[in-house]
Structure 1
Amino acid sequence: MKYSVLLILTLCLGCQQTARKDISSAADLYPQDFLQQVEKLRDMALTDDTAYQLIESLTTEVGPRLGGSPADAAAVTWAMDKFKSMDFDKISLEPVTFRRWVRGPETAEIIAPFPQPLKITALGRSMPTPKEGITGEIAHFATIEDLEAATDDQVQGKIVYISNKMLRKKDGSGYGPAVKARSMTAKVAAEKGGIGAIIRSIGTDSHRGPHTGATRYQEGESTLPVGALSNVDADLLDNVLKRNKPVTVRYTLGSDWGDEYTSYNVIGDIVGREKPDEYVIIGGHLDSWDLGTGAIDDASGCGITMATASLIKQHIGQPRRTIRVILWANEEYGLFGARAYHAAHQHEMNKHIIGAESDFGAGRIYALASRADVASMPVFEAMAELLKPLDIPYVGNKGYSGPDLIPMRRAGMAVAGLYQDGTSYFDYHHTPEDTLDKVIPADIAQNVAVWVVFTALAAEYAGDFGFGLSD
């Protein structure tokens, strides 16, 4: 998450669409009996445990699902079996090929002036250290921007350390300003002659478990072995640095690249009765980081959207358009599944009517947003009417959705954002603490109730949401 998605999400809150074409009531858009069915299913979903049972199953029977690992393959089998047992009309696999990244041993310690052990984890895609590790003096920078502005002399021959702290925000808006350090520190430090790179974890907790997440560089570019310290160990290192003495650290990271691997996007369709070749896209990513069991990131999104489509079919029937649930492959270290899907379907992007992704944990939904043609605003107003009993407002037409939809959004597909409370999300994100106990069944059920309203009305809408929208 999670990549730059939280930065994207923060841009849309509070934005209101002011332009309007002729406004139709919900009764003009949908038959009354259909709206009553959606209302009834919304209320029923609030006590339904289908999504929670899926989350429990995936985290218990498969567990951590790092892209390219044996559990990745097990998750694909799990997803196919679940789609079949839930009576989806069509189940398909689409290949996603990438180079595997494998985690290895991880150690860190302050050597001088005050010897202390440190908790560290490799950032995804990091190169390995030598077997003996990397030992060097710390070059401390408060932010990645400070490192970018530094001279080579300040960095050369040293281990770069970035100490910026992520701020806790309900909408996750503290993530964007902080996450650049995770993405770029190794690359920038290498370019300036550094010998190693470590960062404070991108998270809001005070636990001893560090946060992983992907670093970013292109093949052939300079980079360094890079790890993240737990926030409490970063605090410790900060306190040592305050003594204004040279600080020497040693760390080892055994993670490295493996061979090429093919995983799959797993797709379940509830086929449309009138427009089977037009799609409303929902889903979450099937992979996870390997430190926890991937409960909030993103077994929750998988369970929520699988349950949503299944319940609509069971209690309302076949939608006008196909509801396509995509469980995306290897989101975590590069949106590989998203990019492969777009490449395979770019000739029919205009058949992808609207999309939304659940990839921000297991918190309750508090707002709905869109990014669609103004002519479709009455549809979102109809959704907002049905969401009033859940106290969920529509917050405007400048919205964005999850990271796996970025390629399709850039290609012109309309998207919606179903915004979750992320106040505690970054306490657990990409850590060993991402486990099932963080998932509250009632909150998951509330998510499903909201997703039922969005998905049912989007799939039943006779018009469209626009295509070729500017990014």
Structure 2
Amino acid sequence: MRMMPLLLALALGSICGVTHAQEVRRETVIPAAALDTATQLRQTALASDLGYRITESLTTEIGPRLAGSEADARAVAWAKAKFEQLGYDKVWTEPVTFPKWERRSESAHVLGANAQPLVLTALGGSPGGTVEAEVVRFADLAALEAVAAGSLAGRIAFIDQKMERARDGSGYGASSRVRSRGPSAAIRAGAAGYLMRSAGTDSHRMPHTGITRFDDGLTPVPSAALSVPDADQLTRLLALGHPIRVRMALDCGWNGEATSYNVIGEMTGSTLPDEVVLIGGHLDSWDAGTGAIDDAAGVGLTMAAGKLIGDLPTRPARTIRVVAFANEEQGLHGGIAYAKAHADRIRQHQIAAESDFGAGRIYGFDTSAPEHAKAAAAQIAQALAPLGIAYTPGEGSPGPDISPFARDGVAWANLRQDGTDYFDLHHTPDDTFDKIDPEALAQNVAAYAVFAYLAAAAEGDFGRAAGGKD
């Protein structure tokens, strides 16, 4: 009988050991009081025009913000001043260095019996140069990639692949590959230049720019996108049955390095200030328009959401961090730099969301939250439902600048905007402030404010980075 206490102790120790080894997590939930506050916050945000006014300020006072340009530097100063003006508790910048690409001028003309101008824009990353050559049309990227090496020697390759319109922007993937892979395919075929139908869904004479890449070992050639009507016109000219020669002249190219900055503002949490809920957008834009939908709206609405949370009588437990990322357009440079700069504090990031798909109404919500946090995700979704936002598990993905640290294990949320007409404007001169719908933007502000507040008020976590450091 004297053995029983020892056996019992061993048994209990074994049970406790198993429990400790498994580290069973308690379910993350959001307190009822926080849900009540979120209802009030939602109404306040819907009645506010703050996000609209911030977006107006950036697009009006700064205008286009090509990464590394003088305007980009003014945008950094603007963002820092705006965070301070809005009353953020802490505001700072973090450097982001990258190759500097410049656009100076561009033109194109059909030569010969059908002489006429064409409207195009150089792809970001294209070298400058003038090419005068016969044009060869390909219906899609696969057709160009299938031709024999050297078969286009001295000619201009033209891909006429159309982009399909979709609310979720799903047609962009295939069209963006035409932009990123097409030039290298043209070079392998021996082409002296590259043209593509713009990655866009509009019918305006507004070409869509965007970054391209050239595979290692290839000598880059002048590469540009035609406006959709000009791509159609060139296709009709080629259908006449005789050779069509085009002269394209691009004055652009890489010019050393530049340093810009991620601009960061924080509203400090009340009881867990070292834990962070991150939201944001990217500060840079292409140079043709004033970067309103891409992505002044994202910066404006997340700045406004953070401000509204900061103004609450009682702050949520965790800190709200808003980031205006540098140089997203040319390769996610700001997001990558942020991930590197905060690698040793990655576990402090609870969850992150980025707005970089225009200013259309948000219609869907998803998150990568693990099993133990799904109840909290469902509570957030319920709080978003009055805004017309459906819970769509499994349909989202992290925003562009969020993706580098999402790969490090940070949980992400996706508030999916209606992008039906986003690619009518994307990367064109038509991306201007007048395209912003104030009521739709207010709905975005409300959604981001509710999401960020509830995530910051949750009891429990949204998952941790497997390889992160404490």
TM-score w.r.t. length of structure 2: 0.91
For 1:85 and 1:151, locate their aligned partners in 2 and report how far apart those are by CA, in whole Å. 59
Q: Secondary structure at the match of 2:391?
A: coil
For 2:348 and 2:26, locate their aligned partners in 1 and report how far apart those are by CA, in whole Å. 25
Q: Which amino acid aligns with 2:268?
A: V
Cα 1:220–1:150 change in 2 (3 A) is closer
Stretches (4+) displaced over 4 A: 21-24
Verify: 1:317 aligned to 2:314, yes or no: yes
Q: Secondary structure at the match of 1:71?
A: helix
2:415 — aligned with what? 418
1:328 — aligned with what? 325
Verify: 1:52 aligned to 2:52, yes or no: yes
For 1:349 and 1:220, locate their aligned partners in 2 and report how far apart those are by CA, in whole Å. 36
For 1:387 and 1:371, locate their aligned partners in 2 and report how far apart those are by CA, in whole Å. 17
Cα 1:218–1:269 change in 2 (3 A) is farther
Instruction: Report the number of matched residues.
Output: 444
Residue pair 1:328, 1:338 contacting (<8 A) in 2 also: yes
Q: Secondary structure at the match of 2:373?
A: helix
1:258-294 CA-to-partner distances (Å, cap 9, x unmatched) read 1221110000011222222221111000000000000
Verify: 1:380 aligned to 2:377, yes or no: yes
1:39-188 to structure 2, matched below 5 A, reads 39-129=39-129, 133-188=130-185
1:275 — aligned with what? 272
1:144-180 CA-to-partner distances (Å, cap 9, x unmatched) read 1111111124322210100001111011011011110
| From 237, 240, 245, the counterpart of 2:237 | 240
For 2:201 and 2:466, locate their aligned partners in 1 and report how far apart those are by CA, in whole Å. 35
| From 379, 397, 402, the counterpart of 2:399 | 402
Q: Secondary structure at the match of 2:402?
A: helix
Verify: 1:456 aligned to 2:453, yes or no: yes
For 1:328 and 1:301, locate their aligned partners in 2 and report how far apart those are by CA, in whole Å. 10
Q: Secondary structure at the match of 2:364?
A: strand
Aligned-residue offset at 1:394: 0.6
1:12 — aligned with what? none
Aligned-residue offset at 1:117: 0.7
Aligned-residue offset at 1:397: 3.9
1:33 — aligned with what? 33
Q: Which shows bigger deviation, 364-373 or 317-326?
A: 317-326
Q: Which amino acid aligns with 1:99?
A: P
| From 182, 188, 192, the counterpart of 2:189 | 192
Aligned-residue offset at 1:219: 6.2
Q: Which amino acid aligns with 2:435?
A: K
> Structure 2: which 5+ residue stretches go unaligned?
1-23
Residue pair 2:292, 2:433 contacting (<8 A) in 1 also: yes
1:338 — aligned with what? 335
1:213 — aligned with what? 210
For 1:379 and 1:31, locate their aligned partners in 2 and report how far apart those are by CA, in whole Å. 10
1:10-43 CA-to-partner distances (Å, cap 9, x unmatched) read xxxxxxxxxxx9997xxx9333332211101101
| From 331, 345, 348, the counterpart of 2:345 | 348
- Percent identity, aligned pairs only? 48
1:224 — aligned with what? 221
For 1:229 and 1:262, locate their aligned partners in 2 and report how far apart those are by CA, in whole Å. 31
For 2:385 and 2:61, locate their aligned partners in 1 and report how far apart those are by CA, in whole Å. 37
Q: Which amino acid aligns with 1:32?
A: A
For 1:203 and 1:399, locate their aligned partners in 2 and report how far apart those are by CA, in whole Å. 22
For 1:423 and 1:355, locate their aligned partners in 2 and report how far apart those are by CA, in whole Å. 25
Q: Which shows bigger deviation, 63-72 or 392-401?
A: 392-401
For 1:134 and 1:217, locate their aligned partners in 2 and report how far apart those are by CA, in whole Å. 18
1:9 — aligned with what? none
> Structure 1: which 5+ residue stretches go unaligned?
1-20
Q: Secondary structure at the match of 1:94?
A: strand
Q: Secondary structure at the match of 2:429?
A: coil
Cα 1:463–1:431 change in 2 (3 A) is same
Q: Which shows bigger deviation, 287-296 or 386-395?
A: 386-395
For 2:233 and 2:210, locate their aligned partners in 1 and report how far apart those are by CA, in whole Å. 22
Q: Secondary structure at the match of 1:254?
A: strand
Residue pair 2:137, 2:235 contacting (<8 A) in 1 also: no
Pairwise CA RMSD: 1.8
For 1:53 and 1:92, locate their aligned partners in 2 and report how far apart those are by CA, in whole Å. 22
Q: Which amino acid aligns with 2:285?
A: S
Aligned-residue offset at 1:74: 0.4
Q: Secondary structure at the match of 2:322?
A: strand
Q: Which shows bigger deviation, 399-408 or 70-79?
A: 399-408
Q: Secondary structure at the match of 1:257?
A: strand
Q: Which amino acid aligns with 2:203?
A: S
Cα 1:23–1:396 change in 2 (3 A) is farther
1:299-325 CA-to-partner distances (Å, cap 9, x unmatched) read 000001000011011025322111111
Q: Secondary structure at the match of 1:66?
A: coil
Q: Which shows bigger deviation, 185-194 or 68-77?
A: 185-194
